Amino acid sequence: MKSDFRGILTWSLFLALILSSITNVILYKKTEAFIANEYSLIDSNGAIVNQLKTIKSEFNKYKGISAKLDETIKTANQKIEEKERNIRLLLSEKKLKEGENKKLIQEIDSIKNKYFDVIDSLLIARGMNKALNETLDLMTDKIDLLNSKLGVASKLKIDNLIVKPLKKSFANKEALTALAKRTTKLKICFDVMDNAARDTEVLDLYIRIISPNAEVLTSGSNLTFVHPDIKQEVSYTLLKTVDYKKEKINVCLNWEETAKYTPGLYIVEVFTKKNKLGTVTFSIK
C-alpha cells in the first residue's frame, strides 16, 4: 500500500515538473516574442521619426526659390508636423502598434509624394516662365534697338545751311556784303535731305535769327511755336511750309524786315515742331 502511494506521488511530482517546464517554455516564448515585438516597434517608430525629419529637410532645400514654392513647402511642413505630433502622442500613451506604424508610413509617403509632385510642377513652370521671360527680354531689347535705329534713321536732316547778308548795288542788283550798315536782306538757304524711312508729310520749318543782342528778329509778337527742347513757346523769324515726299528739297527764304542791323555775331536756327535740324552763325561788321 505504501509502495503504491509512493508511486502515485512520484508520478504526480514528475507530471507537475513536466507541466511546469512546458509552462515556463511557453511563457519564455511569449516573453521573447513580446520583447522582439517591442524592439521592432521601437525600431519602426525611430525610423518614422527619422523619415519625418528627412522629408522636412528635403522640402526645405527648395525654400527661397519663389513665393509659391515657399507657400507649398510651408503647407507640406505643417502636414508633416501634424503627423509628428500624432506619433508623439501615441508613443507617450504606448498605443502605437505595428499596424498603425504601417498606416502612418503610408500616410507619410503619400504626403511626401503629393507635395514633391507640386514642387516639381512649380519648378517646371518656373523654368518655363524664366525661359519665356528671357525670350521676352531679348525680344524687347531687339525691338528697342530697332526703334532706336529707326528713330535715328527716320530723323529729318538738313545740309548746306548758309546765310548770305545782301546789299543793293548801284545797278539795283543784290550782292554780298560784310557790313551791317549796308545789309538790307538776309538770304537763308539749306537742303532738306532725302530719307526713305520717313513718311510723306507737310512740314512746317521754323527759322530763328538771333541778333548779337540775343533778340530774335521777328515781324510780330504773335509769331511763336513750342520749342522742341525746352517745351516752351518762343518767337520765330520765318516760317516755311514744304510738301516733303522723302526726296531732297532745296529751301531758300529771305528776311527783309530789319531796317538797321547791329554789327556782331548772328545765330540762325532751323526747327520742325519735333526737332532742331541745324544751326549756323555769321558775322557782319
For residue 161, give the nearest of 252, 245, 237, 273 by alpha carbon. 252
Going by the DSSP 8-state scheme, the letter that residue 199 receives in this structure is P
Per-residue confidence (pLDDT) for residue 131, from 0 to 100: 62
> What is the rounded distance in angstroms from the CA atom of residue 148 to the CA atom of residue 152?
6
Check if the beta carbon of residue 167 is closer than 8 Å to that of residue 174. Answer: yes
Segment 247-263 mean pLDDT:
90
Query: What's the pTM?
Result: 0.49
Check if the beta carbon of residue 168 is closer than 8 Å to that of residue 273. Answer: no
Which of 23-32, 138-147, 208-217, 242-251 shows the lowest per-residue confidence on average (mean pLDDT)?
23-32
Per-residue confidence (pLDDT) for residue 222, from 0 to 100: 84
CATH top-level class of 158-284: mainly beta
Q: 176: which strand partners?
A: 166
Q: Quick one: cell of 25?
A: 517554455
Per-residue confidence (pLDDT) for residue 241, from 0 to 100: 92
| 51-97 tens-digit pLDDT | 777 777 777 777 777 777 788 878 877 877 787 777 767 666 555 55
Going by the DSSP 8-state scheme, the letter that residue 182 receives in this structure is G
Which of 41-45, 74-78, 262-266 shows the lowest per-residue confidence on average (mean pLDDT)?
41-45
Per-residue confidence (pLDDT) for residue 226, from 0 to 100: 92
| 112-125 tens-digit pLDDT | 777 767 776 666 66
Angle between helices 98-154 and 2-60 (to 10 degrees): 10
Q: Quick one: cell of 214?
A: 540775343
Residue boundaries of the structural domains of the chain: 2-149, 158-284
Using left for φ > 0, alpha for ψ between -120 and 50, and beta otherwise, residue 209 falls in: beta
